Structure 1
Amino acid sequence: MSSGKVMESLSHCRAISSAESRLACFDAAAAAIETAVKAKDVTIVDRQDIRKARKSLFGFSVPHIPLFGGGDRDDGPKTDDFTELNTTIASARPMENGRIELRLADSEAVWMTTDPMSFPPKAGAKVRIRQGAMGNYFIAINGERSVRGIRVR
């Protein structure tokens, strides 16, 4: 059962005037929802789950789907877009051509600078990653000058 049909069945029940018939309809709709959730045809998520998923995907190109707040619907509340991530560095290692690979502390995200850096930052350093124009990302460590970077994993 699709999520649209689940909502239709609930709306249909609300329109029934007889209390006994309405209760029977709601019982059937509740059973259908429970079955759909157990069969994983319908998943119920809250805003916190969506926010957590969107934050974990920061830096990746994600299709515009309603689950992540990027669908065609304009009638619901706007979800906040992540344009910036503030965290700390778990580890950093130098790469070729002066680039640095950064592992973030609060997630399993791995970023790499595309501009060379003269020094690898230390674990625990504060990092700010912000989204720029045309798919660019800028990484600033401890408030220093930003360098361009990309999300690797």
Structure 2
Amino acid sequence: MNARLLILLPASLITAPALAQGGDSPLDPLFTCRDIADDGARLACLDAAVDALRSETESGEVVAVDREQIEAAEEATYGLTIPQFRLPGLSLPGGGEDAELAELESASASPQRVIVRDTNGQIESIEGLAVAEISENRSGDTIVRLANGQVWRQTDDTYVQLTRSRADTDYTATISNGALGSHFMRLDNGGRRFRVERVE
């Protein structure tokens, strides 16, 4: 059996930074009630706290998500300048379209990918991402469109080595963190890594 972590969060806090930092739990009133010694008072407190929590979930002020949903959303928004997102199947304010996120987070696009996280659980790199297309813009920057729908643009002048006889879809890419929120990409043909930014 796979263990799943159920997390209740205020809908207004469903952003990447908020998920990383945490905050007051909607379950805190329940925990407070549990410490009441008198049985009748404790039961009354618990009933009131449960009723309040039910009301908040029904109104959408509080949503329940599991660890898999959070990690999928973090992966889908990796590299975005403003990492605010909508979790799959949930109607939350300030995010993108559900269909777009579902496409971005699809594990089937890169089934062999490996996500490397630091000791705080934040993504350090994603390896083995399937490539859909490699092209150049008018400035000569390499544009890499991944099979998961993400588009990354080269931002330095590093020569990006490609093999003419190799189809774009035969490549995989590794994207890793750089300094000050920057990112690097390396294709799996032994070439040098180059600095990139996510544009879609």
Superposition pairs of residues 112-127 of structure 1, within 5 angstroms? 112-114=153-155, 115=157, 117=160, 119=162, 122-127=168-173
User: What amino acid is aligned across from residue 147 of structure 1 in structure 2?
Assistant: F
Of 11, 20, 38, 2:58 maps to: 38
Tell me which structure has the larger Cα radius of gyration: 1
Q: CA deviation at 1:129?
A: 1.0
Q: 2:195 aligns with which of 134, 141, 148?
A: 148
The alpha-carbon distance between structure 1 residues 26 and 98, as it changes in their structure 2 partners (threshold 3 A), is: same
The separation in 2 between residues aligned to 1:123 and 1:94, in whole angstroms, is: 16
How much is the aligned-residue C-alpha RMSD, in angstroms?
2.7
Change (3 A) 1:96 1:5: closer
The verdict on how the C-alpha distance between 1:14 and 1:108 changes in structure 2, with shifts beyond 3 A counting, is: same
TM-score under structure 1 normalisation?
0.73
Q: Which runs of 5+ in 2 are unaligned?
A: 1-8, 11-23, 84-118
Residues 59 and 137, structure 1, Cα contact 8 Å, conserved in 2: yes
- Candidates 84, 91, 97, aligned match of 2:125: 84
Q: After TM superposition, list the pairs within 5 Å mapping 1:20-59 onto structure 2.
A: 20-59=40-79
Change (3 A) 1:96 1:45: same
Q: Which residue of 1 aligns with 2:5?
A: none
What does 1:120-139 correspond to in 2, within 5 Å? Answer: 122-139=168-185
Using the TM superposition, give the Cα deviation of residue 62 of structure 1 relative to its aligned residue in structure 2, in angstroms.
4.5
* Contact 1:98-1:118 within 8 A present in 2 as well: no
Name the CA distance, whole Å, in 1 between partners of 2:125 and 2:25: 37
Residues 160 and 192, structure 2, Cα contact 8 Å, conserved in 1: no
Q: What SS class does the counterpart of residue 64 from structure 2 fall into?
A: coil
Structure 1: distance between partners of 2:52 and 2:142: 52
Q: Whole-Å Cα distance in 1 between the matches of residues 186 and 76 of structure 2?
A: 19
CA contact (8 A) 2:173 2:187 kept: yes
After TM superposition, give the deviation of residue 99 of structure 1 in Å: 1.8
Count the aligned residue pairs: 137
Task: Measure the CA separation in 2 of the matches of 1:146 and 1:5.
Answer: 42
Q: What is the TM-score when the length of structure 2 is the normalising length? A: 0.58
Matched AA of 2:186 = A
The 2-side partners of 1:144 and 1:111 are apart by: 17
Amino acid at match of 1:102: V
Question: Percent identity between the aligned chains?
Answer: 28
Query: Offset at 1:118?
Result: 5.4
> Secondary structure of 1:60's partner?
coil
